[in-house]
Amino acid sequence: MKAHEPLVYEISAPGRCGVEMPEPDVPLSPLPEELLRDDLPLPELAQVDVVRHYLRLSQLNYSVDTGFYPLGSCTMKYNPKVNEQAARLPGLALTHPLQDPETVQGNLAIMWSLQEFLKEISGFSGVSLQPAAGAQGEFTGILIIRAYHLSRGDARRTKILIPDSAHGTNPASTTMSGFTAATIKSDERGNVDLAALKAACDDTVAAIMITNPNTLGLFDEHIEDVINAVHDCGGLVYGDGANLNALLGVVRPADLGFDVMHFNLHKTFSTPHGGGGPGSGPVGVTEELAQFLPGPIVELDHTALEDEKLLLYNLVMPENSIGRIKSFWGNFGMIVRAYTYIRVHGPEGLRRVAEHAVLNANYLQARLKNTYPIPHADRICMHEFVAQGIVEGSDVRALDIAKRLIDLGYHPPTNYFPLIVHEALMIEPTETESQQTLDAFVDAMEKIAQEAKENPQLLKDAPHDAPRRRLDEVKAAKQLILCATFPQD
Amino acid sequence: MYIPHTDAERSEMLKTIGVEKLADLFRDVPEKVRFPDLRLPPAVSEMEVMRELQNISSANANLGEFPCFLGAGAYNHYIPATVDYVLSRGEFYTAYTPYQPEISQGTLQAMFEYQSMMCALTGMEVSNASHYDGATSLAEGIMMAVAVSRGERRKIVISPAVHPQYRQVVRTYTQGMELEITGDALRVQAGIPDIVKLLDANTAALVIQTPNFFGQMEDVTGAQSVADQVHAAGALLVVVADPISLAMFTPPGQYGADIACGEGQSLGIPLSYGGPYLGYFTSRKSLVRQMAGRIVGETADVDNARGYVLTLSTREQHIRREKATSNICTNQGLMALAAAVYLSTMGKCGLRAVAELCYHKSHYAAEQIAGLPGYAVDQNKPFFQEFVVKCPTSVARINKHLLQDHGIVGGYDLGQDYAHLKNHLLVAVTEMNTKDEIDEFVEGLREFALKPRKPANKVLPKKTVSKKTGAKKTARKSARKPARRAR
C-alpha cells in the first residue's frame, strides 16, 4: 500500500474557491492601498477536493479508533465520543473568553467543579486549570516552587533533583525556571537510590521532580522515605502526573506527601491526543502553595445562593500568583471533556479505571516475560512496564521489532525510552483494551520473536505493509525542506 | 465505563499474573493511604451527563444567540463546515504525536501543509507545527531571541500596544531568567519611533504587534524602517500579527521581521471560552535551529517515495534535556489541522474576502459611532477590524445596557488594562456581524449617550428585541438563573 497524496498546492488551480463568502451588506470604505500586499500565495481548491484530500490523509494515520496503541507513558486509552459532543454544545463552544462572568456562569460552574474533582482525586488543596499541556504544567509547578522559596527569603536553593528515569521535559523545565538539574540514579529494583538521594540532599535543594509510578512502570517501594529525605533538607516534592492513571482511587499523591503535581487531562481523563495536542495540564498544590498558583482560577461565592446574587462563580487571581501562564483561563474544551469523563465514572468507576489499567499491564508483562527480557518482571508493575527489544540468537533491535509490529497491525510501544533500559520497549495497554486484544498482541510479539531468529532481515526491512517504508530522517535534517514551494505565477 | 472485561476474563487474567484479586496489585502503595474514599458525585450515564451539561450551558449567553462585538485577542469568525468534519475524523483526533512516521503520514503531511500555508500568509521562510497559543508563542519567541544572542543580550523591548495578557505571560515565562523587559511602560500613544529609542547593545529583541491590541496598523516602514533600526542594533524584530489581517496587509516577512507569531484561533477554531487555541510561530530560515517546538520536514522512504518526518529533533528537550531552549513537547496538532483545513477551504480568494468584510464592516461601524454625540473614535492610524471608542460613561454600564436592552455582547473595557483609558471601549467587528446587528449596536450606544443617567442595574437581558427569534427568548430566560452547582 503506497498511497501517494499530493500536497494541497499540487491540486490547486487559479480561480477555485472552497467556500463563498457573502457580499458586503455595508457601504465599502476605501482600502489603504499603500499597506496592502500584492499577492497571497494560498492554495485554491474546490470544496470536494478539500474534503477528499484531508480524508485520504486521515487514512494514512494509525489511531486509537483504528487499533491498539500501547505507547508507553502516553496513556492512549479510548476517547469517549460523548466527550466530543459535550465540548461542541453551542452553549459552551460559542462563548467568548472575555465575556462578563455573569454571562458565562455555566462555563465557570464546569471549571469550578473540575477544580474540585481534581482536588479530591489528588488530595491537593488548590488547583489551577490554566496550563495548556503537561510540559507547561510542569514548568508552572517549578515556578511555584521557586516563588515559594523566594517568598521565604531563601535564594540559596538552586538545585532540582531529577531521577534518571524522568521524562525529558523535567530537566528542560528546570533550566527554563533558572534552576540547575542534578541527576539521581535508580537502584537495582528500579526505585530511587536512597543513599544517592540522601547524599545529594542539602540546603541548596529546591525540590525533587519525581514520577511515581516511575517510567519503568514501578511504584517506588520507598516513596515515603524519598519524600521525607527531601522535606528534611527543606526541599519540596514535585510529582509528574503523567502516570496518574495507575493511581485513581488507589492513592492520593498529596496523602503521600507530594507538594505539587500536574495532571494530564489528555492521558488520565481521556481527552483526545489530537495528533500531538491540544493537551491540558492543570496543577495541584498544597494549601501553603495555593497562593502562588497561576490564574485566574474560579472561585465560588458560598453566600451568593442565599443572597440570590447572580454572580455565583467568579475568576480570581491567587494572592501571590506566579502570574498568567497562557492567555485566558485554560484549554476549556479539554476541561469540558475531562469533566464529562469524571461524571460518567464517579468514584468507583475511577478506581476501576486504575485497577484495570494495572491488570492489563501485569497480564501483558506475565505473558511476554518468557519471550522478551523484562528487567523488573519480578515485581508487580503499575499501568505500564518496560521490556527489552532483544531476541536471543538474533541481532535485531527494538526499532526493528517496533517497525514489524506495524506490519502486524499495531502501533509500536515507546522505544528507546526510558534511557536507563537498553533497547527499551515501553508498553502501556490502558484499561480500555480487552483480553482478546491483549492476547492477539502477545501472539504478534511471539511471532516477531520467532521471525527474528529465522528471518531477521524481514524485521530490519519492516514495515512492509504501511503507507510508507522507513523514512530517511538524516536526509530530512540535511535538506531541510520545511515548507512547500508555492507555484509562481 | 469503557472497560471491556467480563468477570471470567478478569479471573483468568489475575490467575495468569498469579494474584487473587485486583487489590493485590497495589501492595507497593503504603497501606495507610491506599484506596481512599473519593467524595465525588456518583456516576451518571452518558445520557444524563449530556442533559446535565445542556442545563449548565443554558446559564451562558452564547454567541449563536447574542451578536458579539468583543475581540481583544479572540475573534468570532465563520468556520466552514469542512473544518469540523475533518477534525471529527478519529484517525486524526485519536492519534498521538507522529513518532512512527510510516503510520502517521496523515498528520505529518497536514502539518507540513500547515507550515507551508503559514509561511505563505506571513511571508516568512519557516514555520513550526505550532505552540499553545499566541501569548506562549510570543514567550517562546523571546526565549529564542535570547538564545540567538547566545544568552549575551538580556533586554527585551516590547510595545505597550502588544496584548496585555501576552506581556503578562512573557513575564511569567521569563521570571527565572534575569531578563530586563521594558518599553511597555511607555504611554500607549507611543509610536514606533519612541519604542526603537530603547534599543541598545544589550537588546535581544524588539516586539511590536500589528494590527496592535487597539486594532491599529503600526507604521513599520516610516522614514527608516523599524526592521533596519532593530537590525542596526543587532537585535531581532518580533512581530505579533492577526492571521486574517495578513490576507490583505503587507506581511511581516516583507518588512524584515525575524520572527512572526501570534494567535491562530481566527483560522477555523471555535472561541470555546478561551481554548484550545493555536500559537503560530514562523521565522527566517537561518534561525530555525534555535526555534522551539515540533517541525515537520520532507524526506523520502527507502523506496524513494516522498514522505514527511519530525525533523531537527536534536533541538528538543528529549534529546538536549537541560540544555534545550524550551521544554515544549507536544504542539496544538489538532488546532493546526483546523487551520490547515480552514486555509485550504477559504483559499486565496476566500480569505481575502473575509479580511475585507471585517475591514468594511468595522469601518462602517466606526463611522456610525463617530457620528454619535458624546462618543469619539480614534482614527489616527489605519485599523483592520477593531477600533477604540471613547465613551461618555463607563464601559461596564454601556455593556450592561447593550446586553439587557439589545441582547448584544458589547466590546472590551480598556480601563481594565490601561489606567488612563477609563471609558474606552475596544470594538471588534467581523464578517459574522450583519449590518442589522451593527445598527442595533449603534442604537444601543446612541440611547445611552442621550440618556447617560438612565440606571442600568439589571444584569441580564430582559426586553426581547423584535427581530430576535423565539429560541433567543428561551436562552435569555435561562441565562437569568444562577448556574446550577455541579456537585
* Average pLDDT score over chain A: 95
Residues B331, B354, single domain; the answer is no
Residues B396, B367, single domain; the answer is yes
Q: Which of A447-461, B228-242, B332-346, B443-457 has the lowest mean pLDDT?
A: B443-457
Q: Residue A47: pLDDT above 70?
A: yes
User: If you search the block for the grid coordinates 448556574, which residue do you land on?
Assistant: B483
- Please indicate whether, in this complex, the C-beta atoms of B409 and A105 are within 8 angstroms of each other: no
Residues B388, B270, single domain; the answer is no
Q: Is residue B18 part of a domain?
A: no
Q: Residue B464: pLDDT above 70?
A: no
Q: Which chain B residue has its CA at the smallest distance from A367's CA? A: B16
- A427: Cβ contacts below 8 Å, ≥ 6 apart: A70, A72, A361, A364, A365, A368, A384, A385, A386, A387, A413
Average pLDDT on A143-168 reads 94
**Alpha-carbon distance B32 to nearest alpha carbon in chain A (angstroms):** 9
- Please indicate whether, in this complex, the C-beta atoms of B103 and A62 are within 8 angstroms of each other: yes
* Residue B382: other Cβ atoms inside 10 A: 18
Amino acid (1-letter code) at residue A67: G
* Per-residue confidence band for B472, with pLDDT thresholds at 50, 70 and 90: very low
Residues B275, B236, single domain; the answer is yes
Q: Which chain B residue has its CA at the smallest distance from A276's CA? A: B97
- A24: Cβ contacts below 8 Å, ≥ 6 apart: B356, B357, B360, B361
Q: Is residue B256 part of a domain?
A: yes
The answer to whether the CB of A131 falls within 8 A of the CB of A281 is yes
Q: Which of B276, B316, B431 sits opposite A278 (nearest CB)?
A: B276
* Residue A381: other Cβ atoms inside 10 A: 28
- Please indicate whether, in this complex, the C-beta atoms of A312 and B483 are within 8 angstroms of each other: yes
The per-residue pLDDT for B452 is 47
The per-residue pLDDT for A309 is 64
DSSP assignment, residue A162?
E
Q: Which chain A residue has its CA at the smallest distance from B481's CA? A: A310
- Please indicate whether, in this complex, the C-beta atoms of A346 and B40 are within 8 angstroms of each other: yes
Q: Assign residue B178 the CATH number of its domain.
A: 3.40.640.10
Domain boundaries, chain A: 8-58, 82-342, 353-474
Q: Which chain B residue has its CA at the smallest distance from A51's CA? A: B82
Residues B189, B101, single domain; the answer is yes
Helix (H) or strand (E) holding A338: helix A332-368
* Per-residue confidence band for A303, with pLDDT thresholds at 50, 70 and 90: confident
Of B447 and A6, the structure prediction assigns the larger pLDDT to A6
Of B311, B342, B373, the residue at which a domain comes to its end is: B342
Residues of A in contact with B132 (CB under 8 A): 132-133, 136, 277-278, 326
Is the Cα dihedral B453, B458, B459, B461 positive or negative? negative
pTM of the model: 0.95
* Per-residue confidence band for A255, with pLDDT thresholds at 50, 70 and 90: very high
The per-residue pLDDT for A140 is 97
Q: Which chain A residue has its CA at the smallest distance from B11's CA? A: A359
- β-strands B279-283, B259-263 pairing: antiparallel
CATH of domain A353-474: 3.90.1150.10
Q: Residue B351: pLDDT above 90?
A: yes
Q: Which of A478-487, B94-103, B470-479 has the lowest mean pLDDT?
A: B470-479
* Per-residue confidence band for B463, with pLDDT thresholds at 50, 70 and 90: very low
Residues of A in contact with B129 (CB under 8 A): 276
Average pLDDT on A48-52 reads 98
Q: Which of B2, B115, B460 sits opposite A482 (nearest CB)?
A: B115
Q: Residue B109: pLDDT above 70?
A: yes
Q: Residue B467: pLDDT above 50?
A: no
Share above pLDDT 70 across residues of chain B, in percent, rounded to a whole number: 90
Q: Residue A488: pLDDT above 80?
A: no
Residues B193, B336, single domain; the answer is yes
| Cα separations in angstroms, A148 against A19, A128, A209, B228, B393 | 53, 16, 16, 43, 42
**Alpha-carbon distance A432 to nearest alpha carbon in chain B (angstroms):** 5
Residues B242, B324, single domain; the answer is yes
Residues B359, B316, single domain; the answer is no
The answer to whether the CB of B404 falls within 8 A of the CB of B461 is yes
* Per-residue confidence band for A220, with pLDDT thresholds at 50, 70 and 90: very high
* Average pLDDT score over chain B: 91
Tally the domains of chain B.
2
Could you read off the pLDDT of A89-127 as tens digits, one per residue? 999 999 999 999 999 999 999 999 999 999 999 999 999
- Please indicate whether, in this complex, the C-beta atoms of A359 and B110 are within 8 angstroms of each other: no
- Please indicate whether, in this complex, the C-beta atoms of B132 and A136 are within 8 angstroms of each other: yes
Average pLDDT on A293-301 reads 95
**Alpha-carbon distance A232 to nearest alpha carbon in chain B (angstroms):** 20
Average pLDDT on B41-59 reads 97
Q: Which chain B residue has its CA at the smallest distance from A138's CA? A: B327
Pick from A264, A483, A489 the residue to mutate for testing the B interface (most B CBs within 10 Å).
A483
Average pLDDT on A191-207 reads 97
CA-to-CA distance for B108 and A466, rounded, in angstroms?
A: 15
- Please indicate whether, in this complex, the C-beta atoms of A116 and B487 are within 8 angstroms of each other: yes
Residues B304, B378, single domain; the answer is no
Residues of A in contact with B88 (CB under 8 A): 84
The per-residue pLDDT for A134 is 93
Fold that domain A82-342 belongs to in CATH: Aspartate Aminotransferase; domain 2 (3.40.640)
* Per-residue confidence band for B353, with pLDDT thresholds at 50, 70 and 90: very high
Residues B93, B172, single domain; the answer is yes
- Please indicate whether, in this complex, the C-beta atoms of A18 and B330 are within 8 angstroms of each other: no
Q: What is the residue range of B289's domain?
A: 81-342
Give residue A429's Cα distance to chain centre: 15
Single out the residue of B20, B15, B26, B24 nearest to residue A249, CA to CA. B26
- Please indicate whether, in this complex, the C-beta atoms of B250 and A36 are within 8 angstroms of each other: yes
Q: Which of B49, B82, B345 sits opposite A343 (nearest CB)?
A: B49
**Alpha-carbon distance A107 to nearest alpha carbon in chain B (angstroms):** 7
Q: Residue A159: pLDDT above 60?
A: yes
Q: Which of A71, A90, A274 sits opposite B333 (nearest CB)?
A: A274
Q: Which of A174-178, B162-166, B286-290, B317-321 has the lowest mean pLDDT?
A: B317-321
Could you read off the pLDDT of B384-428 as tens digits, one per residue? 999 999 999 999 999 999 999 999 999 999 999 999 999 999 999
Residues B131, B276, single domain; the answer is yes
**How many residue contacts between A and B have a Cβ separation below 8 Å?**
705
Q: Which of B25, B217, B249 sits opposite A37 (nearest CB)?
A: B249
Single out the residue of B342, B338, B215, B329 nearest to residue B276, CA to CA. B338
Residues of A in contact with B40 (CB under 8 A): 117, 120-121, 342, 346-347, 350
Residues B132, B263, single domain; the answer is yes
Of A471 and B470, the structure prediction assigns the larger pLDDT to A471
Could you read off the pLDDT of B24-47 as tens digits, one per residue? 999 999 999 999 999 999 999 999
The answer to whether the CB of B178 falls within 8 A of the CB of B154 is yes
Q: Is residue B486 part of a domain?
A: no
**Alpha-carbon distance A152 to nearest alpha carbon in chain B (angstroms):** 16
Q: Residue A32: pLDDT above 70?
A: yes
Share above pLDDT 70 across residues of chain A, in percent, rounded to a whole number: 98
Q: Assign residue B361 the CATH number of its domain.
A: 3.90.1150.10
Residues of B in contact with A255 (CB under 8 A): 33, 36
Q: Residue B448: pLDDT above 80?
A: no
- β-strands B279-283, B296-300 pairing: unpaired
Residues of A in contact with B341 (CB under 8 A): 50, 54
Q: Which of A43, A358, A484 sits opposite B347 (nearest CB)?
A: A43
The per-residue pLDDT for A2 is 52
Q: Which chain B residue has its CA at the smallest distance from A340's CA? A: B49
**Alpha-carbon distance B414 to nearest alpha carbon in chain A (angstroms):** 12
